[in-house]
Structure 1
Amino acid sequence: MNLPTLPAFTLPAPLARIASRLPQKPPAWILTLALNVGLDRIVPRDSMEALTGRHLRLRVLDAGLSLDFTYGASGFTPRTATGQPDLTLSANLRDYIALALREEDADTLFFGRRLRMEGDTDLGLLVKNTLDAVDWETIQRDLMPATLIERFRAKLSHPRRQVA
């Protein structure tokens, strides 16, 4: 499936000023929800063991956001931004989207100084290798509106039976 190429952009400064003043917990909650959707279906939990209990931070530079989260038995969860994170990934929103769409890979962004990793190097390599192993085409196909609508219709037509 060929999607149009993502244009180069940076969030406008007025939007970034607003985003940076908002609470960081709601976007962190959305991020962890999205990551948890991919667990087991996209990335097996056993490959995530090294992340258990680690403090991760995703910084969206042009939006002024810092999203702190951790991984545990129940998957990814937001966490408070206290203390130094074990690993911080920093990039602009456009670069994160390009990474997710597989228009760019982590190595290209890293060596082009558009993605920064700070902290535990081994943990950074684990995250990079996990991103490289993800089948992004399947994710894109599964998240297309027509696919989501079809799944929703299937659930409506075959509701789960309730046991009395």
Structure 2
Amino acid sequence: MPIFFEDVEVGTVEQFGSYEVTHDEVQEFAQQYDPQWFHVDADRAREESPYGGLIASGWHTAAMTMRLLVDGHLSDAATVGAKGVDDLRWRVPVRPGDTLRIENEVIEKVPERPERGLVRARTKTFNQDDEEVFSMVGNVMYLRREDGPVTDAGDNEADDVE
């Protein structure tokens, strides 16, 4: 049964996921999308970087977080995309061998249109040592079960979707 806008409650916190970061994946993602030397050259990263070794691209960390979010919640939700993210932060480098999990907290709901509403949720990603490595606030559009009232508090930029 899909999770609709009406089913989401402000203050709800969910924790889920277990994603093992591999050396090969870190390098493959970086080679394709972010080929900076501290993501692709393990020897140089170990010898010259302030990180003491290879680290995942921040965009890779965001993608792994998204995968955990989809697997743990969004695949069961009646969502129709997102308007973007706010407060995107890379807090601690992610390294090969790390195991990631996420915590997702609903912080706001705005009934924007009769057929959908906006859910703002703070997502935090943690490594196996419970260090927060990444965070963002997602602005996700959820369908409503039935058309409902609209509020002036919402962002009504109809074309601002993913």
Per the TM superposition, whether the score is higher than 0.5 is no
For Structure 1 versus Structure 2, the TM-score category normalised by the shorter chain is under 0.3
From the two aligned structures, give the one with the greater helix fraction.
Answer: 1
TM-score, normalising length: structure 2:
0.23
From the two aligned structures, give the one with the greater strand fraction.
Answer: 2
Q: Which has the higher contact order (CA 8 A, sep 6+)?
A: 2
